[in-house]
């Protein structure tokens, strides 16, 4: 079973990124053959600054390695280091219907948020399909709100296979079990778009400040509170074991505490939880050549597979003979 996923280099990862996706990626590398890439070609639709793109791409790789991605278990590479994917994208574009792309909600959502409606955003699903199909991916881990991307990929692959024969493996979505909402500082889903994130690798002092600013309701200290519907309790639960979760739940139901106490507990738990990753990240940051070597080795392995798949597609449609 081959698993594939890409992460856009659009800034530093936050708690929502980790618990919503990255943690599951790390777990999957122990079960299946995993390909993970830094999606810098996709990021070109929003990042138009050369220095930022270079910085974000390297940082994204460092972050993944620091959080536990093992290059001996998973293939880690940069998307643009596999040019076969771009050629495969064009082959797929040549047969993809406009109607299919017009139905994609991601383009509509991004345009509604004020992003320039460039062709790259409109054709984004085709490049994404090429990313998936280039490695004969069986499974693509996604959040519940991203399953349409895999459906579109399957539609594109099925159309090609119908025209030219069984060239592409049809992937399946693996909906991440922990992709439920991770609350941000305002209680809404943690997202860069909402400006409510707490970053994994920002200083513990700054993370603590953000924790103390998390929005709460106005219930008095003495009032008992149901923990399951409280976003502070939800955040605390991410970082601790069952024993500590149960103790905090009892405190909620008994009442007589302030939300400030819970916020401090969240900050303490998060700092301890991410401490090993911060230490590992500092080591990698001081050895960027090591990271580049890992990415180069990953790209070599990725290109070997992508070349095989591209060759099948080229032969099938008659442009290689």
Name the active-site residue from 111, 181, 192, 210.
192
3-state secondary structure of 314: helix
Active site residue 320: no
Please report which residue ranges of the chain form alpha helices under DSSP H.
15-17, 23-28, 40-43, 50-66, 83-93, 98-102, 105-112, 119-122, 124-133, 147-164, 204-212, 231-239, 242-254, 259-285, 288-317
Contact yes or no for 186/196 (Cβ under 8 A): yes
Of the residues 110, 225, 263, 305, only one is catalytic, namely 110
Kindly calculate the radius of gyration of the chain based on its CA atoms and give it in whole angstroms: 22
Q: Catalytic pick from 111, 181, 189, 264?
A: 189
Instruction: Give bridge partners of residue 2 from the DSSP assignment.
Output: 33
Q: Is-catalytic flag, 192? A: yes
**Cα angle value 193/199/202 (rounded, 5°):** 135
Residues 287 and 282: their CA atoms lie apart, in Å, by: 9
Residues in contact with 4: Cβ distance below 8 Å, sequence separation at least 6, in sequence order: 34, 35, 36, 37, 131, 132, 135, 137, 139, 140, 171
189 is catalytic: yes
Q: Distance between CA 153 and CA 176 in Å, rounded?
A: 18
The helix/strand/coil state of 312 is helix
Catalytic residues: 110, 189, 192
């Amino acid at each position: 079973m081959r698993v594939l996923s890409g992460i856009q280099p659009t800034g530093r990862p936050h708690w929502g990124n980790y618990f919503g996706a990255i943690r599951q990626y790390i777990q999957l590398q122990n079960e299946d053959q995993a390909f993970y890439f830094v999606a810098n070609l996709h990021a070109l639709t929003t990042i138009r600054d050369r220095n930022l793109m270079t910085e974000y791409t390297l940082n994204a790789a460092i972050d993944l390695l620091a959080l536990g991605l093992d290059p001996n278990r998973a293939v880690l590479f940069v998307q643009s280091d596999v040019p076969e994917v771009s050629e495969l994208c064009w082959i797929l574009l040549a047969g993809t219907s406009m109607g299919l792309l017009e139905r994609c909600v991601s383009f509509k959502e991004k345009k509604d948020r004020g992003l320039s409606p460039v062709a790259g955003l409109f054709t984004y699903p085709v490049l994404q399909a090429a990313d998936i199909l280039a490695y004969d991916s069986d499974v693509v881990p996604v959040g519940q709100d991203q399953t349409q991307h895999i459906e579109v990929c399957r539609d594109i692959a099925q159309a090609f296979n119908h025209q030219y024969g069984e060239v592409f493996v049809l992937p399946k979505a693996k909906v991440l079990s922990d992709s439920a909402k991770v609350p941000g500082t305002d209680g809404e889903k943690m997202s860069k778009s909402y400006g409510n994130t707490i970053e994994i690798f920002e200083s513990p002092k700054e993370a603590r400040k953000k924790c103390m600013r998390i929005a709460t309701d106005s219930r008095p200290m003495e009032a008992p509170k149901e923990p399951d519907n409280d976003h502070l309790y939800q955040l605390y639960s991410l970082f601790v074991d069952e024993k500590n979760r149960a103790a905090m739940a009892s405190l909620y139901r008994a009442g007589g505490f302030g939300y400030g106490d819970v916020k401090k507990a969240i900050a303490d738990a998060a700092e301890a939880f991410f401490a090993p990753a911060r230490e590992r990240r500092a080591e990698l940051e001081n050895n960027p050549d090591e990271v580049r070597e890992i990415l180069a080795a990953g790209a070599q392995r990725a290109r070997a597979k992508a070349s095989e798949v591209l060759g099948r597609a080229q032969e099938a449609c008659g442009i290689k003979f």
